[in-house]
Structure 1
Amino acid sequence: MTELAHPSRLKQLISLILMSLCAQGCWIETALSQIVPDASLGTESSLSTGNVITGGSQRGANLFHSFAQFNIGDRQRIDFANPAGVDRIFARVTGNTRSEILGTLGILGNADLFLLNPNGITFGANAALDVRGSFVASTANSLIFDNGFSFSTVTPQTPPLLTISAPLGLQYPSNLSSIQLQRASLQVSDGKRLALLGGDVSLEGSTLLALSGQVELGEPQGNVSLSAGTSVDVSGTGSGNIAINARNITISEGSRLFAGIASNTIGDAKLAGGIRLNAIEAINLNDSEILIFVLPGAVGNSGNVDISTNSLLINNGGQINITTAGQGNAGNVNINVVNSVRLSQLSPAGFQSAIFSIAGNNAQGNAGNINISAGELYLNDYSGLSTVLREGAIGKAGDINITTGQLTFADFSVLNAATFGQGDSGNISVKVNGAISLTNGSAIANQVFPDAIGNVGNITIEGHSLSLTSGSEILANGAPRERAGNIIVNARDSISLIGIGTEGIAQGVSSGLFSDTTSDSFGIGGSIQVNAPSLMIADGAVIDAGSRNAARGGDIAINVDRLRITGGGQILTTAKSSGQAGDIAVQAASDIFLSGRDPGFETRLAQFGAEVVDQIDAASGIFANTLAGSSGTGGNISVRSRAVRVQEDARVAVDSQGVGAGGSIQVQTNLLTLSDRAAISAETQSNTGGNITLSVPDLLLLRRGSSISTTAGIAQGNGDGGNINLTSGFIVAIPNENSDITANAFSGRGGNITITTQGIFGTDFRDRQTALSDITASSQLGINGVVTINTLALDPLQGTSELPTRFSSPPIAQGCQASSRTSRFVNQGRGGVSISPADPLVAEMIWQDWELIDHSQASHNPKEITEAQGWVKQSDGTVALVANPDRAMNDCPTSQPIP
């Protein structure tokens, strides 16, 4: 007998084979499904027959099931029976293993399905739902009902024998388990609810569909993650909503949240649902999108995107986008963040990180508003916040409202309200407790583009300080039909506008504030108001409310303590076409300083042209000019300050370089200094010069080729010279420095110069200009103007009284009674100060040849001083006071007691 044939060994072999088969069978059963009811429901326990689950405890419209394990194998199917009258089915797992849904979970009816497993739930790649009602999967450990009953996985009980309504909420354990979707696709019927509620909820490459329904994800103590192109879609005929609540929310790798109206009719118009994200700590939207839309042909208003968190990061091309392309308004984006909102970096495909609310092409409706409240708002790398009315749309761009502690835009980032269609752009409001900084081509812009029909909205900026550098701008301009927008900037500390853009789309562009108009527009320029303790405009930066069309330029009002304009910085309301230049009013409580030129102006103008370069020339200054080729008149400039200093080619000018008349300039200051070719000018090429009025109570100082001019006909044209009215305490110039005051003309009449002063030094009236410092009102071909100088000479005797040259003795009363107060006795000569008998001598230092009083003590005892009681007339006629008049009367018959 061989070894294998031995009976005992054969028995062992058979046993091994049977054990192997048993194990294999068990494995196969596990791979298929594991639905293991528990005994917690007693006689009403759940039953698993094939792929259908029956039994359970029915209480009214609710059916309760309880399992020790609940798993569905790959590509397998499990259905819950749906008895008549049951609207909700509740399934709990009381064991200690996760539920793995790798196949299809369904209901043979219309009931809603709730699945609770505090150990966790996983949906695999082939997982699916076949439910016509709502579906809720949760890692909570109990459901709470309004009668106090808890359908618990920890202390499982049979539901009480009474009617139980819908559940009120979920109760979670301290240690939350996760819900995972791994390339799963879950869908509920249209208009129904799909909720995954628990600890960490992660969706990787998965899809959730609840068309026109609701999707809910997360729990405040857990994290929610959407990655690898995950899609959550509640769009449809309207009313779909997405709500995510978590500690942290991460949406990345091309994932998307969709809500909106895909198609319907006017009779079926609805409000598209909204998307709400609420995270205790942070929300990260990375290369992904949150989108609410109304598609072309659909009718209804878009819903809102509402975000509340401690920190919001939108990067690598992440976007929040609300768009209507049908009939209806786009919704609002409402963001409330405790700390920072940061948008940065382009996506790999080149899309910007951004927040949009858009009325799309040919839409009929308004773009929505963007409202952000945050501790800090930071944008860089082409990031944007925009409300837009696109081409062909009829409506209005939305408003943008920002409230933050600090605002920083860098590297071509933009906050923008714009219209390309038929309607106005929105208004922009930025309120910042701290600093506002825009750098390297960044912008806050409110614009109407060519071919659009509408007006530009307004911009209001409030902050501690404002800094615009390297081609950064605040704009309320464009091509309006009626007017450009207004800009109001209020800073509690300082405003700095510095420099020119040197790269990208900002190359050649001035930093500054703009409310100007384009050449293809019809509207007037808007107004700009600046209020701050300090304003600096430097190195080619500008404040511009000019006009490039036939309409009037806007007005500029500056109210500061100190104004500095250097390096070609400019304030201008110039007219470059047939429109009139606007007005400029500058009030600086302390002082104004204008100096220098922009050395790169000519090169930049040749490279980019006048449509890009905003300055009118290289000089620093304040300008309400008209430019060459224009026909409008110059604007008006009013300047008030304690002291004004203009030097090194800087100018204050209302010149007309076209065919129009010059404007007017009024300056009120205590001290006005012009030096090194500086000028106050109202000159014209071929029309009447403007007028200049200067009120300088203290001193007007002219040095090194500076000038005050209202000369007309500089290009040998017509026009009378303008008038100059100058009132100053003193006017001082250096004779050989050629600093002039002129109101000349070429073929017209010279202007009139009226000067009222206490004195003029270093300059004289002459009938023509010379190399010296001159005052002229001549005309080369016409009649000279009139120069009137009123000198207020000082009379040193004015207001004084003539002193007497003879003195009379004061009258003395008859009978020299001291107590009758009819006369006084004054002892003069004690230190040069008259001292009456009633005044005490209180100082030890007296005015007597600058000598100190002797402090030495007398060596003898002082005599007793007795008050005088009478007087006597001595033999030489002198009068002496005596202490005892009775004794004196015996000696002198002319003695008498003092009454």
Structure 2
Amino acid sequence: MKISLKTLHLTLWFIASVSLWQQAIAQNNILPDNTLPIEEQSQVLDTPINEPGSPIDTLRLIQGGAERGQNLFHSFSAFNIADTEATYFITLNPDIENIISRVTGNDTSDILGLLGAVKLDSSFLREVVDLYFINPNGVFFGPASELDVTGALIVSTATDLQFSDEDIWGTTNAMAPSSLLVVDPSAFLFNDPGINGSITNFGDLQAVPGNKLVFLGGDINFNGGSLIAPGGEVVIGGIKSLGTIRLSEVNNASQLDFSDNAQLSDISLMGSSRVGGSQFFIEPDGGRILVRGDEITLDDASYIFSFIFGQADGREIDIKASELNLSDFSYIETTLIFSSATGGSINIDASNLTLDNFSEISSEVLGDGRSGDINISSETVAINGQSSISTSTFDSGNSGNISITASDVNLQGTTENGRFSSGIFSRVSSRGTGDGGDISVEADRITIVDGAKISTEVLGDGQGGDISVSADESLRVLGRSSFGLTPSAISARTEGLTVEANAGSLTILTPKLVVTDGAQLSASTFGPGNAGELLIDAEEIKLSGTSINGFPSGVFAQSNRSTGNSSNIFIDSHVLELLNGAQISAAALEDGIPGDIIVFGEDITVDGTSSFDLPSRILTQTDGSQDAGNLTIITDKLSITGGGEISAGTGSDSEGMGGTILIESNQLLVSGQSPSGLPSNLSVGTLGRGQAGDIGIYADNVIVANGAFISSLSLDQGDAGNIFLDSNSLVLLLDAFISSQSVGTGDASNITINLSDTLFMVDGSIRASSSQAAGGIININADRVRLIGDSDIQTNVDSGVDDAGSITIEADSIVAFDDSDILAFAADGRGGNITLKTNVFFGEDYQPNSPAPFDENDRVDINATGSLASGNILLPDVSFIENSLNELPDELVNSETLVANSCIVRDNDTASSFVLTGSDGLASNPRSDVVIPLSLDTVKPIADSAESFNGSILLESSPISEPSGAYQLADGRLVLSQECR
């Protein structure tokens, strides 16, 4: 029902001016009680409305009452308004500021028509007066109810009002107001445990712009109704137990304070109900919303909002509850429209916050102002069913920030087509030139599943906001949407059209990070703007698996078909695992500059492949004109196994150079293959015209085994990159290899290996080869070199006039067995030089100038053959060792002359020794199977007969003791015996 307020205002003026008042016929709608003195009792006056088509047929005026200073008191035993009635509280006293009404009966007040309160001045013009309406039994506003209150309306189901510390007026002890009740009511007392009246609103209730609407009750329910205070305040709260609500004002903002142990009431908005601080184009300034309750529910497209059309700064939406639930297209929103002001913030403090089925908490700007922030503090935040918390800019204004503090944050779900995700978002729209807001999420545990996201996004020309996610216990980003179209993700991206449209940064702090089944952490650009930095600090990181359609889990910084630059990735972790096809990638797919990857860790594992045979890997890559980013890993232990990969490369259409890989590790293990035979590897490569990057490895121990490899590869015009390895030891086992290879027209590059200890190879290889360009150089410096089985060190050029690369090996000793070879071939050019700088060289069955073939011949070959000329082979002169070995006689020492049946006593002279060498020596100790240094101490003679020695007698039955050594007697003879003990 819509009432012509103009008609009512004219009628009131007419009645007041001509004093044509008539006493109302007795009826049950409004009944004054007898708690006030007769002369102060309320007077209810009726007049008919004879206007054709008007929904109102009766105008009811309430005058009289008890005046106490600025307050006017009314008391009723029943108070109801029919849907065809308009009821006004009237005062002509200019000093009255508050009209205070109570209901002392036992029934709910049904407000089905219009409720008004007016103060008329001497010219019968309307002035502001506030209306307090108190009924402990409950208040019901029907679908046709309306308001015409010139000031604030305060509706409550409290039993009493408190005006000062001790002055109370209400229904508990219904009396006339004392002369002290001359101030504003300050508290609402709920003193009757048997009464818990609710406030229910089905109507459209709106305050005069700039004024206040207050509901303080038991449970408060909206069912299709609205409560709007344009530019003013809406205050909703209540308790369903004994207690007190204090209503105060601080800096022109209402405050609600609840007594200790008070149990707050429930508040529900259903059926498209609205609670707002603005009305479109009626009041330009947005109002403030204050809501306090136990369980607050918004359902079925209900919403709480505050819009700003003017230049005054917006006011906040402030909600505090145990439970706050939004569902079925419900939302809480602040919006700046054509305004340069600052929007009001949304502040939510709830034990549990749940958004479901396209519900939203948002702050937006459609002008050049700044939208408000969203601040949420909660034990649990659950965002499901394509619901969201977001800030956005659609114009030149900047959007506000989002800050969420919680114990648990759970984000879940997308639409079937993947277009709408549940999550937390900051956006710059396609028409926006302002900057996006930042997102900060702090929680103990954060879980993002089924395609949900935390995201900042730029579609226009503004800067994207930054993302900061901190989880004190764990952060889990799991899976994709139901059809694998949309990844669960934390992302900062830009699709803007100008170079100013840069994406924000992404920072993650947590002890435990898990990203699985196609989920992603990403910073990316799809336009000329740059992607933001990506920083992860976690004690334990697990990246694992792919989606059902093959999209890998991982961490990504990408420039996607754009000129914007990719970002850097920084990871600091104690334990980092990439498993089953997961990736860490920094790439540029067009002309943007790829970012670098820097990883610090104690234990890093890159293992396995996906079900689509995609390797787990850490990589940098460029497919455009720019150089690929560098990859740096500093760790105690790095393991690349089961087909895993660490690589830096260029694409087939790239003109840029490949990135450099730098590894600093105490232990480096590259081992094994995937089930399909994909080898584990650490590699750089180029598929285009640019040169491949270099590999630098600084480690204590390096093991490459079981078909794995470390390599630099060129497949086109670019040269392969150099490989530099500095370690204590290097082990190559079972078809493992280190290689620099050019398959195209580019040159193979150099391999340099510096070892303080041993190079140990069993069926492994080190090779620098080229199909048609110059071969690379191999330089090895080690303490010892051991080649076993089919282990090769080789340079070669398959075709063309270029020379094979040289091989230089410097070591204290070089020993090669079986079919191990050192080769430097050139099919059409000159063979490379081979130089072995060592004091000791041994090659099993090695014969200089042995003919081909050099493989599978069970001998060691060293060859530098070339079509134009052979290279030089420089081997050490070991003839001094060969000539110093003399053939020993076959005659053995007579053992019978060596055995003595007594122990040996040394004298105190200084001992000397000698060494037996030869092929037929006798061990000097039964515990040793080799000849050892023998004592040359002087030995005392053996006694002629058995006699006491050290208190013991050698008897025939005494056990025979084995000798412990060979001893020289005074006459020079050698005797096998043992020392006396």
The corresponding residue for 2:277 is 210
Correspondence for 1:760 among 801, 808, 815: 815
Q: Would the aligned equivalents of 2:463 and 2:503 in 1 still touch at CA under 8 Å?
A: no
Q: Aligned AA for 2:422?
A: S
**1:388: Cα distance to partner?**
0.9
Q: Aligned AA for 1:219?
A: R
**1:66: Cα distance to partner?**
4.7
Alignment deviations for residues 147-186 of structure 1 (CA, whole Å, 9 cap, x no partner): 7755655456766656966565655569665333342433
The corresponding residue for 2:5 is none
SS where residue 271 of structure 1 aligns? Answer: coil
The corresponding residue for 2:148 is 130
The whole-number CA distance in structure 2 between the counterparts of 1:639 and 1:399 is: 34
Q: Once structures 1 and 2 are overlaid, which stretch shifts more, 203-212 or 417-426?
A: 203-212
Q: Aligned AA for 1:517?
A: A
Pair 1:242–1:771, CA change in 2 (3 A):
same
Q: Once structures 1 and 2 are overlaid, which stretch shifts more, 181-190 or 676-685?
A: 181-190
The whole-number CA distance in structure 1 between the counterparts of 2:907 and 2:141 is: 112
Q: Would the aligned equivalents of 1:728 and 1:756 in 2 still touch at CA under 8 Å?
A: yes
Give TM-score scaled by structure 1 length. 0.74
The corresponding residue for 2:739 is 681
Q: Verify: 1:181 aligned to 2:221, yes or no.
A: yes
SS where residue 546 of structure 1 aligns? Answer: strand
Q: Would the aligned equivalents of 2:685 and 2:712 in 1 still touch at CA under 8 Å?
A: yes
The corresponding residue for 1:542 is 617
Matches within 5 A, 1:793-808: none
Q: Would the aligned equivalents of 1:127 and 1:186 in 2 still touch at CA under 8 Å?
A: no
SS where residue 296 of structure 2 aligns? Answer: strand
Q: Verify: 1:526 aligned to 2:630, yes or no.
A: no
Q: Aligned AA for 1:405?
A: E
Q: Would the aligned equivalents of 2:528 and 2:563 in 1 still touch at CA under 8 Å?
A: yes
The whole-number CA distance in structure 2 between the counterparts of 1:158 and 1:782 is: 124
Q: Aligned AA for 1:224?
A: I
Q: Note the aligned Cα RMSD (angstroms).
A: 3.6
Matches within 5 A, 1:458-497: 458-470=533-545, 471-479=552-560, 481=563, 483-492=565-574, 494-497=575-578
Corresponding pairs, count: 735
The corresponding residue for 1:78 is 87
Matches within 5 A, 1:21-170: 33-34=29-30, 36=32, 39=35, 44=40, 46-50=42-46, 51-56=60-65, 63-74=72-83, 76-81=85-90, 83=92, 84=94, 86-93=96-103, 95=105, 97-108=107-118, 109-131=127-149, 133-140=151-158, 149=167, 154=172, 161=179
Correspondence for 1:429 among 504, 507, 518: 507
Q: Verify: 1:196 aligned to 2:236, yes or no.
A: yes
Q: Once structures 1 and 2 are overlaid, which stretch shifts more, 317-326 or 779-788?
A: 779-788
Pair 1:232–1:464, CA change in 2 (3 A):
same
The corresponding residue for 2:854 is 770
Pair 1:588–1:348, CA change in 2 (3 A):
closer
**1:252: Cα distance to partner?**
1.6
Q: Verify: 1:699 aligned to 2:781, yes or no.
A: no
Gaps (5+ residues) in structure 2?
1-25, 47-59, 119-126, 198-217, 239-264, 279-284, 481-487, 546-551, 610-614, 826-852, 883-902, 911-938, 943-947, 954-981
Correspondence for 1:379 among 448, 453, 456: 448
Q: Verify: 1:584 aligned to 2:639, yes or no.
A: no
Q: Would the aligned equivalents of 1:667 and 1:694 in 2 still touch at CA under 8 Å?
A: yes
Pair 1:771–1:242, CA change in 2 (3 A):
same
Q: Once structures 1 and 2 are overlaid, which stretch shifts more, 225-234 or 395-404?
A: 395-404
Pair 1:463–1:527, CA change in 2 (3 A):
closer
The whole-number CA distance in structure 2 between the counterparts of 1:360 and 1:38 is: 64
Matches within 5 A, 1:246-645: 246-264=321-339, 269-279=340-350, 281-294=351-364, 296=366, 298-337=367-406, 339-346=407-414, 351-390=420-459, 392-412=460-480, 413-421=488-496, 422=498, 423-433=501-511, 435-449=512-526, 452-470=527-545, 471-479=552-560, 481=563, 483-492=565-574, 494-500=575-581, 511-519=582-590, 521-539=591-609, 540-576=615-651, 577-597=654-674, 599=676, 618-627=678-687, 630-645=688-703
The whole-number CA distance in structure 2 between the counterparts of 1:477 and 1:760 is: 49
Q: Would the aligned equivalents of 1:744 and 1:776 in 2 still touch at CA under 8 Å?
A: no
SS where residue 374 of structure 1 aligns? Answer: strand
Q: Verify: 1:832 aligned to 2:841, yes or no.
A: no
**1:495: Cα distance to partner?**
1.4
Pair 1:679–1:57, CA change in 2 (3 A):
farther
**1:99: Cα distance to partner?**
4.1
The whole-number CA distance in structure 2 between the counterparts of 1:95 and 1:786 is: 118
SS where residue 757 of structure 2 aligns? Answer: strand
Q: Aligned AA for 1:411?
A: G
**1:831: Cα distance to partner?**
4.7
Pair 1:169–1:662, CA change in 2 (3 A):
farther
Q: Verify: 1:227 aligned to 2:287, yes or no.
A: no
Pair 1:321–1:436, CA change in 2 (3 A):
same
Alignment deviations for residues 545-586 of structure 1 (CA, whole Å, 9 cap, x no partner): 111111111111112222222232211111121111111111
The corresponding residue for 1:711 is 769
**1:534: Cα distance to partner?**
3.4
Q: Would the aligned equivalents of 2:578 and 2:616 in 1 still touch at CA under 8 Å?
A: yes
Pair 1:313–1:219, CA change in 2 (3 A):
same
**1:780: Cα distance to partner?**
4.9
SS where residue 301 of structure 1 aligns? Answer: coil
SS where residue 687 of structure 1 aligns? Answer: coil
The whole-number CA distance in structure 1 between the counterparts of 2:415 and 2:84 is: 37
The corresponding residue for 1:657 is 715
**1:723: Cα distance to partner?**
1.5
**1:429: Cα distance to partner?**
1.2
The whole-number CA distance in structure 1 between the counterparts of 2:73 and 2:866 is: 109
Pair 1:349–1:478, CA change in 2 (3 A):
closer
Alignment deviations for residues 690-720 of structure 1 (CA, whole Å, 9 cap, x no partner): 111112333323333x3212223x1xx23x2
The whole-number CA distance in structure 2 between the counterparts of 1:58 and 1:777 is: 119
**1:236: Cα distance to partner?**
3.2
Give TM-score scaled by structure 2 length. 0.68
Correspondence for 2:795 among 738, 742, 748: 742
Pair 1:693–1:399, CA change in 2 (3 A):
same
Q: Would the aligned equivalents of 1:743 and 1:752 in 2 still touch at CA under 8 Å?
A: no
**1:654: Cα distance to partner?**
1.9
Pair 1:709–1:103, CA change in 2 (3 A):
farther
The whole-number CA distance in structure 1 between the counterparts of 2:307 and 2:645 is: 52
SS where residue 421 of structure 2 aligns? Answer: coil
The whole-number CA distance in structure 2 between the counterparts of 1:654 and 1:532 is: 26
**1:301: Cα distance to partner?**
0.8
**1:60: Cα distance to partner?**
5.8
Q: Aligned AA for 2:375?
A: D
Q: Would the aligned equivalents of 1:485 and 1:527 in 2 still touch at CA under 8 Å?
A: no
The whole-number CA distance in structure 2 between the counterparts of 1:79 and 1:184 is: 25
Alignment deviations for residues 367-399 of structure 1 (CA, whole Å, 9 cap, x no partner): 111111111111111111111111x33333443
The whole-number CA distance in structure 2 between the counterparts of 1:126 and 1:348 is: 41
Alignment deviations for residues 784-842 of structure 1 (CA, whole Å, 9 cap, x no partner): 5556566999999xxxxxxxxxxxxxxxxxxxxxxxxxxxxxxxx99536499xxxxxx
Pair 1:659–1:213, CA change in 2 (3 A):
same
**% identical aligned pairs:** 24
**1:73: Cα distance to partner?**
3.9
The whole-number CA distance in structure 1 between the counterparts of 2:876 and 2:37 is: 114
Q: Would the aligned equivalents of 2:712 and 2:722 in 1 still touch at CA under 8 Å?
A: yes
Q: Aligned AA for 2:584?
A: L
Q: Once structures 1 and 2 are overlaid, which stretch shifts more, 127-136 or 538-547?
A: 127-136
The whole-number CA distance in structure 2 between the counterparts of 1:794 and 1:272 is: 93
